[in-house]
Structure 1
Amino acid sequence: MKKNIRKKGIAFIGTQAPILVALIALFFLIPFFMNILARNMSLKTFDPHRNEFICNYERNVEPSVDDEADIWFREGLAATSFDLWPDDRDFAKAASLWNKAAERKHWQAMLNLASLLIEGKGINRDRERAVQLVEEVMKIGIPRAYDFMGTLHMNGTGVKQDATRAYAFWSLAADMGSSDAQAYLGDKLNATHDDPARSIWGNKEIAYKLLQCGYSQENGNAAFLLGHELSFHEQYERALHVLHDAVKFGSEDSANKLFVEFDDGRKLVNKFLDKDRAERYAAIADMLRLNPDLRLPNLDKVLPLPPAILPYWDGDKQTLIDGAKPVKTASLDDIKPSPASLRQGRAHIPDGLVLPDEPQGGHLIQHLHTDAIISGFWLAQLAKPYTPKQVAWNAAQVPMYYALGESFTPPEDITKDDGVLRFHYLGTPIPKSLAERHVPDWRVPQGVLREVPVPSRELRSSGLLPAPATGIWHGSIDPAHPLSKVFNLWTRQAYVEEGQSFPDPRERGLDISPKDIQWQWLDQTNLPLPSGRKDIIIRNFSPAVSTN
């Protein structure tokens, strides 16, 4: 076809002059159109000697995604879980699911699909399409996509290899909030002198700021590099805590380093020779190598730092990991009173629609005499129903619709004597066909989260108070807080013993006051698991240790 068009242009040059002029113009415009592609965007040159860096958080700019596309994305994650044997991972299924999700502009699925296209896993290799997908995500404004584009330029994957542009993309990604880019550049600038041939530069002040910003976003690599640097400067106490946090964030390198430190009794651990702790760090490092997606926010439950006494461990690596994983309990999200379409007023849900299993935007709880901070259906519940009447009242409640800014209506049949009344956000209705397609939480089959029974009691506390009970606590802040997207994560959990202080986010660089944090007790979670395997049971005993 191209040959025929070219022949026409030549054959009819006298009578088709406008067409020829257009073709010539198009030829000269091609470079212009090439330049407006995201891969060819104008970039500020990477400056390793910069003297300013403002910490931004990537989660603050990550948009919400389509509900159905998110289900496809999660199914793809479950199909390729590191918890599966390599031969059991179904990349073809994941590629198909992520391709459908990409059509709905699910940015995480788009980046994952780009990786498969580059490697040719489960799909024919197509590096040009991979680059195009990354460009689309860049246009959405995702910092991680700019980091990805930097890697493509460094490796010459689908684009011309150009290290200068690679570092410019990484620098832009770090400024936008990419914690991976912050960790990478922080490592490159953390030198005493410039050596461009080895890609290192002496700018320790900015390197520290980059690593601290990545650490505050719970980036395991940034935390490991920061802890290593603090150790080098003999700030041993803080270095130990940062490296311990890095293990919580999934850093295999940090787990290996702490294994060596405790196994040899080095300065970082105050010359405290502790073979038992070393053994546990080594076991965790092995598990993180097998499953880099693991996050261990409750590590203190099974492996607390000295001088805390080590809890009992049966020697099974999986038991150790299960004790440190984040947990999820049953919640009010499963309540879908029926038939909703027959109700009137606030309780009415149109035919064909139902409430989702998980509320869009996350779990929210508000009190009476406040205004709804998000439109949707809310369920009124007494916090601590003691009498049969109160229990029956809770069971009889149905979700009611409240618009953004609308005040919650006080029930006529509830008084102050009945206790605290709370409104639980259940989301907005979705098509019934979508809700009936049951997809388990992808984090459970992927092995990065485990489910536990509903807590035996409702218990909450402010971050200013000492913990009123021992167990795993989940923290959250008001969604209106400017750092809510950064803080309100499913991994925002901590194992805290009764009387101890709750974690202070300011120690990790987050400008959040403890008084703004509401902690919810998720129980001791030492009950038998659904599989029948027993979880860790804490027994206070002193292990045999020696010092040198």
Structure 2
Amino acid sequence: MKQSVEIKLRLIGCVLLIAAGVIGNAMTNPIYKLPRNQELPLFHPHTEKFDCVSEVAAVPPVDAQAHAWFLEARKLEDFHLFPEERDYPKIVRLTRQAADRRHWQAMINLASFYIEGFDPKHGVGDAVMLVEEAMQLGIPAAYDRMGIYHMNGTGVTPDATRAYAFLQKAAQMGNSYALAYLAKKLYTNRDEGDSWSNIPVATKMMECAFGQGNMEVAFWLHDSYRVPRGADGKIVESPTAETKSKALRLLHEATKQGGEPSASKLYLQFDGSSDKYHMLPAAIDKARAKRYVKLSDALGFDHRRRFPNLDKMLPLPPADLPPWDGTRDSLLNAVMGVTFSPALPPETPRPAGDRYFVDPAYRLRKTAETTNAQKAPFGGYWQPLVNGQAVKDRPPALYEKNEPFPVMYVPGEYASKPLTDVTWVYHITIRNTEYEVDPIALPGLTRTVPRPAKPVTHRSHEVCTVGGIWQPWVPESHPLQAIVNQPWRQVFLLKGQPFPQPRRDWLLELDEKDLTWHLMEQSGPGMVPKIGG
């Protein structure tokens, strides 16, 4: 009996030793060190503090030529074509070209193309690795995407707990999609006694996402404005004229930025389909409803559209509606953004073997990105530095991702002694335009207009002196330039009206002192609405 017990104990000991060895080997296995498996703080729905940061302030600088390839790929995803009619081989090729130059949006899109099967040579595993590469670059959208992968079990083991941890990390880094997802979870459970309900933080998250141009949150945010609630989710007060007006303005702003649900909601509101408690405008207005439904239909067909100059044809009451011929195209053309230059300059073919060639549409700008590696960590223009100084006759040259850098030699040394302390500095391309203010957009989604003969500029605290379409602008070095210097930030103003205030009207943490406004197109006679009493 005693011998039997000893044998059992020894067997148990062996099993424990084997298990310990397996666990130890597993924890040293490189797969556990992959970004997809990194340890993150667990999702904390009851946090009392939320600090809004903008995603664009965290991402690597965008190469202008790569961005042109990215826009060309987006253009080819023409919503007038059935998916099977689109040239996906070219779309994938252009997106990969941009991704190889560390264009963060292209990297995320390319991962989606892999998963959707548009590139037969790459699959789900490649998509996960590409997102991991983006995570290592500190791209917030990559953490959001990895959270989705863990939620759905895409290329990884399904794990909701890990998914929410990744989404929380992405939201803290400013990703608007993660913010929208988590905010909805914290807000929509308010009436169910759910332990996740956190109205104050949900509202701040929604405002942070909205300020970055994510209109997915507009429906829930307008409800938060219309019916103020306490932290426990209970209604603090019934809707008032002031709270309804605030909610109405938010939906109107969301329509400008491409929010189809907001446009649809405003159509129903002005058409009289809401009861008195949920009604936002002071009165039914069928004429306004007719215009909102046209915009809603257009956004439902192509979600890439933006209508920044909506007030030109559809200002909120009490302004009168301007004349309209009733056609869809005239309405869309009037309210879309405007640009001076074509979004995609013709590409000049590179001479064979010429690494130093730069397309005349662009010029180079040195970045703070350096590497001591023997290969280019990503594609683009790299220049060798020795002791921090540029090497004579060695300007920036183009290298593909993972392409070996050439060996540098000590000048004048017998037998050409190789250098061992070479640093390579990265340069991005920037648009070679003579104009300071020159917004670009997805081709076909803006009108091209002639540049005004005489520049007209204002500061944010001033009032408009010329009626027309105005473009906000911050210096190219500003961390928020990628979400300010865009046609979808434009606004149509009448003479004497104030300019929008970023914090109040855009919910964007931007100091108005950093902002200037530039006239893009002056309004003509009969083309502006009359302000009602």
- C-alpha distance 116-104 of structure 1, shift in aligned 2 (>3 A): same
Cα distance in 1 for residues equivalent to 2:79 and 2:524: 25
Write the deviation string for residues 60-84 of structure 1: whole angstroms up to 9, x where unpaired.
0121234443333222212113354
* 1:273 counterpart residue number: 284
For 2:457 and 2:138, the matched residues in 1 are separated by: 37
Amino acid at match of 1:247: T
Q: Name 2:207's counterpart in structure 1.
A: 212
- 2:312–2:528 Cα contact (<8 Å) kept: no
CA distance 1:159–1:308, change in 2 (3 Å): same
1:451 matches 2:448: yes
Q: Deviations over 1:202-236 (max 9, x none)?
A: 11111111111112212111233211221233211
What percent identity do the matched residue pairs reach? 38
* Count of residue pairs brought into register by the alignment: 419
What's the counterpart of residue 385 of structure 2? none
| Equivalences for residues 18-37 of structure 1 within 5 A | 28=25, 32-37=29-34
The aligned residue for residue 364 of structure 1 is none
Distance 1:245 1:360, change over 3 A: farther
**Correspondence for 1:54:** 51
Alpha-carbon contact 1:46-1:171 (below 8 Å) kept = yes
Code of the residue aligned with 2:309 in structure 1: it is N
Task: Give, in angstroms, the shift of residue 48 of structure 1.
Answer: 1.3
SS at match of 2:339: strand
Structure 1 position 325 matched with structure 2 position 370: no
Question: Which is further off, 512-521 or 254-263?
Answer: 512-521
For 2:116 and 2:152, how far apart are their aligned partners in 1?
A: 13
Q: 1:177 to 1:513 in 2, by over 3 A?
A: closer
Per-residue CA deviation, residues 331-359 of structure 1 (Å, 9 max, x unaligned), is 9x99xxxxxxxxxxxxxxxx965753589
Equivalent residue in structure 1 for 2:510, among 509, 512, 528: 512
Match of 2:152 in 1: 155
Match of 1:284 among 285, 295, 301: 295
Query: Hey, what does 2:249 align to over in structure 1?
Result: 241
**One-letter amino acid of the counterpart of residue 281, structure 1:** Y
| Equivalent in 12, 26, 42 of residue 45 of structure 1 | 42
Give, as a single letter, the amino acid of the residue that structure 2 aligns with 1:48. P
The two structures, once aligned, show a CA RMSD in angstroms of 3.4
Give distance in 1, aligned partners of 2:270 and 2:62: 44
Answer whether contact 1:76 1:97 (CA < 8 A) is retained: yes
Go from structure 1 to structure 2 and tell me whether the alpha carbon gap of 1:85 and 1:255 turns closer, same or farther (over 3 Å shift). Answer: same
Matched, 1:251 2:259: yes
- What amino acid is aligned across from residue 214 of structure 2 in structure 1? N
Are the equivalent residues in 2 in contact too, given 1:262–1:277 (CA < 8 A)?
A: yes
State the distance in 2 between where 1:443 and 1:330 align.
10
Report the alpha carbon displacement of residue 498 of structure 1 after superposing the two structures with TM.
Answer: 0.5
Report the counterpart of residue 425 of structure 1 in structure 2: none
- 2-structure distance, mates of 1:137, 1:431: 22
Q: Which amino acid aligns with 1:237?
A: S
1:52/1:206 contact within 8 Å kept: yes
Cα deviations across residues 166-217 of structure 1 (Å, max 9, x unaligned)?
1111111111100111111111101325666xxx821111111111111221
Deviation at 1:265, TM superposition (A): 6.9
Query: What TM-score comes out, normalization by structure 2 length?
Result: 0.71
Match of 2:182 in 1: 185
Alpha-carbon distance change, 53 to 539 in structure 1, aligned in 2, over 3 angstroms = closer
1:86 Cα deviation after fit: 4.0
Deviation string 1:364-408 (CA, Å, 9 cap, x unpaired) is: xxxxxxxxxxxxxxxxxxxxxxxxxxxxxxxxxxxxxxxxxxxxx
Map of 1:14 onto structure 2: none
Q: Is the 8 A contact 1:58 1:177 kept in 2?
A: yes
Shift of 1:124: 5.4
Seen in structure 2, the aligned counterparts of structure 1 residues 116 and 274 have a Cα distance that, compared at 3 Å, is: same
Judged with a 3 Å threshold, the aligned counterparts in structure 2 of structure 1 residues 358 and 237 are, in CA distance, closer, same or farther, namely farther
Q: What is the CA deviation profile of residues 7-62 of structure 1, one whole-angstrom value per residue up to 9, with x for unaligned ones?
A: xxxxxxxxxxxxxxxxx999925763111111111011111111111111101012
Deviations 1:217-267 (A, max 9, x none): 121112332112212332111111111111112111111111111111755
Counterparts of residues 65-464 of structure 1 (less than 5 Å) = 65-82=62-79, 84-121=81-118, 123=120, 126-190=123-187, 191-192=189-190, 201-233=196-228, 234=239, 235-264=243-272, 266=274, 267=276, 268-330=279-341, 355-356=360-361, 443-445=441-443, 447-464=444-461
* Cα pair 1:93 1:122 within 8 Å, conserved: no
For 2:23 and 2:161, locate their aligned partners in 1 and report how far apart those are by CA, in whole Å.
30
